[in-house]
Amino acid sequence: MAIRHLLKLSRRSPRSLSATRSASTAVASVSDTPAPAPPHPNQMIYDHIAEQVKSKLKRLENPNPKFLKHNSPFPTLTDHTSILTYPETRVTTLPNGLRIATESNLASQTATVGVWIDAGSRFETEETNGVAHFLEHMIFKGTEKRSVRSLEEEIENMGGHLNAYTSREQTTYYAKVMGSDAPKALDILSDILQNSTFDERLINRERGVILREMEEEC
């Protein structure tokens, strides 16, 4: 039996013999590779992850210079208040106590000039109820040096808009004009606020206008 087995081996082709030898060599090389050492029994899986994170942080401490060309890998706190509150409102108080709030927008060629008076409907009594709204209507009915028509023509010739409104807290008078006409608009506002005539004939006519507005709101 042993002789027959040797004869069979001798009759095999060289290819099969080389394949057998290579397979045995591969098995031997795989068996020679040492297996990874198991973690220490006292080391938990979270400790292993923590070590990996520490190694990544060390790499961040010495980053590649080509990445620093554009930005830093470290997060920074940035204050965007100046952008979110643009345009910035600056409040200036004059010696007489008048407060001036200004906002500048270089991209705009127009200007809005207004006067905000802390005298709204909430400050009225039963005797003065409706006075703030009534004055809002009467304020554009002419001054000592400007009639109703001249007042309207002056604003229209500038291509501006003159208006007013009354709220619970304030009564506001404002004008929208081109930037170069801001001094003229300020002169008109100061004139109607300080030098209005309040003609009795116009008062009686405006009373009817306000009553119609009240009927429409009801």
C-beta of residue 92 within 8 angstroms of C-beta of residue 99: yes
Residue 180 tokens read as 């170069």
Assigned token pair, 106: 């270089």
Q: Beta strand pairing status for 110-117 and 161-166?
A: unpaired
Alpha-carbon distance of 204 to 58, in angstroms, equals 85
Q: Which DSSP symbol is given to 168?
A: S
Q: What is the pLDDT of residues 1-51, one digit of tens each?
A: 556 655 565 565 454 444 444 444 444 444 455 555 665 656 666 677 778
Of the candidates 154, 156, 206, 216, the residue annotated as catalytic is: 206
Give catalytic status of residue 154 as yes or no.
Answer: no
Please name the residues in contact with 199: beta carbons below 8 A apart, sequence gap of 6 or more: 141, 142
Residue appearing with tokens 């210079």: 65
Q: Is 129 exposed, middle or buried (0-12, 13-18, 19+ CB in 10 A)?
A: exposed
Tell me the pLDDT tens digit for each residue of 115-157: 999 888 888 888 888 888 888 888 998 999 999 899 999 999 9
Q: Of the residues 88, 124, 136, 213, which is catalytic?
A: 136
Confidence grade of residue 185 (pLDDT, cut at 50, 70, 90) = very high
pTM: 0.58
Percent of the chain at pLDDT > 90 equals 32
As a whole number, mean pLDDT of residues 63-75 equals 64
User: Which pLDDT belongs to residue 180?
Assistant: 93
The mean pLDDT of 164-180, rounded to a whole number, is: 93
**Low-confidence winner among 6-15, 24-33, 98-107, 201-210 (lowest mean pLDDT):** 24-33
- Nearest Cα neighbor of 120 from 132, 129, 112 is 132
Span of 56-70, 91-105, 151-165 with lowest mean pLDDT: 56-70
Q: Which of the 8 DSSP states describes residue 36?
A: P
Task: Answer yes or no: 103 catalytic.
Answer: no
Least trusted range by pLDDT, from 72-76, 88-92, 101-105, 150-154: 72-76
Q: Is the pLDDT of residue 63 over 90?
A: no
pLDDT of amino acid 31: 47
Domains for the chain: give ranges and CATH numbers. Answer: 87-213 (3.30.830.10)
For position 194, what pLDDT does the model report? 93
